[in-house]
Amino acid sequence: AQKITQTQPGMFVQEKEAVTLDCTYDTSDPSYGLFWYKQPSSGEMIFLIYQGSYDQQNATEGRYSLNFQKARKSANLVISASQLGDSAMYFCAMREDQGAQKLVFGQGTRLTINP
């Protein structure tokens, strides 16, 4: 069965520093997708970045990049030059490409950016 593990319940980072949020996953499906979502205190879920299991290069979207290490089954989110507005919950999620296209989420990491 799919499983996503986020081992950092909370992280505190100084503004303008880079931050890495950890995510490991487990699946027996050779084809899958990995996602990161941001949930600010207002509650909405904001899509940040996607990585397919067969993608050769790590995904990047502006200040977000996904450090995909397939052999280690890890998909860490890197945020460069953090901003106060980055303070939020961050969720890693996986979708197996066989069967239901549901997302399975980790427990989340609460990121706090300090000025």
Partner 1 sequence: DSGVTQTPKHLITATGQRVTLRCSPRSGDLSVYWYQQSLDQGLQFLIQYYNGEERAKGNILERFSAQQFPDLHSELNLSSLELGDSALYFCASSVGGRDYEQYFGPGTRLTVT
| Interface residue list for partner 1 (CB under 8 A) | 31, 33, 35, 37, 43-47, 50, 52, 91, 93, 95, 97, 99-108
CB of 14 to partner 1, least distance (A): 29
CB of 101 to partner 1, least distance (A): 7
CA distances from 39 to 26, 89, 98, 103, 109 (A): 23, 5, 27, 15, 10
Return the number of the residue (11 or 45) whose C-beta is nearest partner 1: 45
Return the number of the residue (49 or 79) whose C-beta is nearest partner 1: 49
79 forms beta bridges with: 19, 64
Return the number of the residue (30 or 81) whose C-beta is nearest partner 1: 30
